[in-house]
Homo-oligomer: A and B are copies of this chain.
Amino acid sequence: MEEGLRERKKRETRRRISDMATGLFLMRGFDQVTVAEVARAADVSVNTVFNYFGTKEDLFLDRQADLEEIYRGVVRDRRPGESVVDAFRRDFLDALDTGDWRYGFHEGAEVWGRVVAESPALRARTLEIERQVMACVAAAIEEEADADPDDVRPELVAAQILSTTRLLSRHALRRRTAGESPREVEAWLREQAEALFDLLESGIGGYGRRPLVVAEDGEAAGDEEEDDVEGDHRRP
């Protein structure tokens, strides 16, 4: 008895709910679709939806486990002579070649990105996921490097690498939604990736260093142009 009817039905139900939800969200936007609608579309009760997915956001974002596994692999399976940064650089460029989903280069990524960008709840959940993935990568690096549990460097390395890839993904998505062609974006992305990973490797210590001798005419630090102070309450 490899898989009983029970297990199969569960898997099917979960899949049906997820697919229906994703379809509706992509079509009409996350906040414009209620959980009740998803339930109706999947022909289950609302309670069943929450039986499978902890929150409404999880209906749209439930690749976290996969992500963690993939990144663990990148760290663990890096080649001889490769540093952690090297491994992620290679992985990023490979993903760019194959149109892998994990950096947002897959087909339809711009629709997906727009839906996420338009929903505060989804953006928040995305950040939380990124945080957890970061912790996971940090753990993998720490384990690999056999570092002291008090050593903070693995976390720093993880944070910096993932900041870099996230930055690249976000810009790529923005350019895609702004109407640039995939080919254009890909070229730009390849160039920027090299530059950022180089910077990551060699350090940002010198960036923006202020000259020791101040020119005689230029005004000093900013005295003009005081911008807004009070933020507006009530966010949409």
Contact = CB atoms under 8 A, between A and B. Distances in A.
A214 B80 contact: yes
A196 B158 CA distance: 13
- Number of copies of this kind of chain in the complex: 2
A1 interface: no
**Interface range on chain A: under 10, 10 to 19, 20 to 34, or 35 or more?**
35 or more
Contacts of A211: 80-81
Contact of A148 (B157, B195, B208, B235): B235
Contact of A167 (B65, B82, B155): B155
A153 B199 contact: yes
A23 to B, nearest CB: 21
Interface string A192-225: 1001100111111111111111100000111100
A170 B156 CA distance: 12
Given A159-B167, A210-B78, A231 B203 contact: yes
